[in-house]
């Protein structure tokens, strides 16, 4: 069984019932988010018209026994710097928040589940990319 990090797009797709991501989450032995992902989600909730139900669903998800929140620490920052340097040398930048998300997956050896193609540019991370 795999241990996965859901990025923001994957969590949203999971909540909307995306069959591939729902199955992937169900098969995972552990599912993680990090503070960047949670911040992006909560920011989106503030901008939407389903704030309270979305907040409750996220809180319930985070309380599940197989779900954890990864800290962002010095080791994460080191991996962020490696990813940022690599992308700068390749001339293929991605959003800064996504580099932090990738750094978390890299640090903890997790498969990164996403709908965002740009993560596939990162040889440092195993990416499980899904289409809508």
Is the confidence at residue 126, as pLDDT, over 80?
yes
Query: pTM, whole model, 2 decimals?
Result: 0.95
Residue-level pLDDT at 59: 98
**Mean pLDDT, rounded, for 10-35:** 98
**Mean pLDDT, rounded, for 44-73:** 97
Q: Which long-range contacts (CB under 8 A, 24 or more apart) does 51-60 make?
A: 54/15, 57/15
pLDDT band at 1 (very low <50, low <70, confident <90, very high): confident
- Number of Cβ within a 10 Å radius of residue 118: 16
Residue-level pLDDT at 40: 98
Is the confidence at residue 21, as pLDDT, over 90?
yes
Residue-level pLDDT at 87: 97
pLDDT 10s digits, 92-104: 999 999 999 999 9
Instruction: List the domains of the chain with CATH numbers.
Output: 3-129 (3.40.50.1010)
SS (H, E, C) the chain: CCEEEECHHHHHHHHCCCHHHHHHHHHCCEEEECHHHHHHHHHHHHHCCCHHHHHHHHHHHHHCCCEEECCCCHHHHHHHHHHHHHHHHHCCCCCHHHHHHHHHHHHHCCEEEECCHHHHHCCCCCEEECCC
In the chain, the percentage of residues whose pLDDT exceeds 70 is: 100
């Amino acid at each position: 069984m795999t241990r996965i990090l859901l990025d923001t797009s994957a969590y949203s797709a999971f909540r909307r019932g995306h069959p591939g991501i729902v199955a992937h989450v169900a098969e995972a032995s552990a599912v993680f988010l990090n503070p960047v992902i949670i911040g992006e989600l909560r920011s989106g909730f503030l901008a939407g018209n389903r704030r309270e139900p979305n907040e409750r669903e996220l809180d319930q998800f985070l309380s599940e026994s197989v779900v954890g929140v990864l800290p962002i620490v010095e080791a994460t920052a080191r991996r962020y710097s490696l990813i940022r340097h690599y992308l700068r040398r390749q001339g293929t930048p991605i959003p800064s928040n996504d580099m932090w998300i990738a750094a978390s997956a890299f640090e903890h050896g997790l498969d990164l589940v996403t709908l965002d193609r740009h993560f596939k540019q990162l040889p440092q991370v195993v990416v499980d990319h899904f289409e809508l």
